A and B are shown apart, each in its own frame.
Chain A
Amino acid sequence: MKLRHCDREHEVVHALRSGSWPTGWNQELRLHMTTCPVCAEVVFVVQEFQREEALVHTELQAREGLPSAGLVWWKARRAARRAAEQRAVEPIAWVERGASALVALTVLLLAVWQWPRLAAWFRNLQYSTPSGHLLASPAYSSRGDWLHQLGQVWTTQTSFLLLVAGGLAFLSVMAFALYEEWREG
């Protein structure tokens, strides 16, 4: 397709949009339009677009026009505020995430480090009698014996109990936080 253009295209478009077509045009421009095939096409296309613009105007009137400048301004302000607030609290959220991850890692490392003692404590809790001997059946235990065992464990292995209790508490909090996030999501 050979490119055809006319240097007066923009002048023709401007004259048409000024609303003075055809009587307001100067004679020379009108004569040019009748002889230039490019400008003849431009006139036709611009008139089609002007009809389309009139249709847009009708559609806007049917939709009760555009939002007011005040509403657009207010919405822009609100969006800017939200973006700024989000930026302001984002570091706090990251610090919280970091702290939670650090606590989780600490609990995990402690558990791994002291795992042999933890495992032995669980075994003793399950099978031992008040005299300290292991039982053949894990079902054997009276309520009093169980409490006596717990008292003995508490006095001898306090740090492990605290570790286990802290770990369970933290896991509960994490589980709750995950649940809340899932619920909000």
Chain B
Amino acid sequence: MFMREITLAELESSKVVAETAEQAFHMDEPTFRVFYESTARPLWSYLCRTLGNAALADDLVQESYYRFLRADLKSEDATYQKAYLFRIATNLAHDHWRRQPHREQDEAAFPGELSANDRTAERVQQSSDLGRVLGRLKPRERQILWLAYAEGSSHKEIAEMVGLRAASIRPLLFRARQKLLKLLHRRGLSAAP
């Protein structure tokens, strides 16, 4: 409230602090580039399809990597790091949903369910049945289904990414899959026997 202009000495000291803050990144830039190239697209796809908003996915991808770089990781294993990154993204998505009223959450996802007037350039342009149907599922269901069948993650990996117990994933995944199949069946699509 009563901030005066910062003196040069204070700026210099804060510059030192800022450079120290960069050193708090647990990864150097070349390593990060390699990691980014292997994870950015899956991460963006995951966020875009579970949030239903490409612009929001852009923001959360940036925020996820920022938090990932500053996290205190216990392992340098690539699988662990990817799971950690997706866990950060999942938490950010949940924070976003918590901030939104429930009705806005449904309307924000998957404009296949909205009228043409409600579509904006930043909404996901859905021409697939799956895209429209995903909007009818709960956020957690979308996340688990995407991680299992688009990412091919194991139940243990899914549990780490979404913050649940591994034993809970199987029944959740089964119920989500059944719900998805029912919705797809209503659109004339069904699993071949």
A residues lining the B interface (CB < 8 Å): 1, 3-5, 10, 13-14, 17, 37, 40-46, 48-53, 55-57, 59-60, 63, 66-67, 69-70, 72-73, 75-77, 79-81, 83-85, 87-89, 92-93, 96-97, 100, 177-178, 181
Contacts and interface: CB of A to CB of B under 8 A. Distances in A.
B177 A69 contact: no
A81 B191 contact: no
A44 B3 contact: no
Contacts of A85: 14-15, 17-18
Contacts of B25: 76-77, 80
A65 to B, nearest CB: 9
Nearest to B69: A76
A100 B177 contact: no
Given A40-B193, A45-B180, A87-B17, A70 B65 contact: no
A40 B192 contact: yes
Closest 7 CB pairs between A and B?
Answer: A44-B191, A84-B21, A88-B14, A81-B18, A69-B36, A69-B33, A49-B150
A123 to B, nearest CB: 35
Contacts of B3: 93, 96
Contacts of B175: 1
Contacts of A42: 149, 177
Contacts of B54: 59, 63
A32 B14 CA distance: 64
Contact of A88 (B17, B45, B66): B17
B45 to A, nearest CB: 5
Nearest to B150: A49
B22 interface: yes
Given A1-B178, A3-B174, A97-B1, A10 B62 contact: no
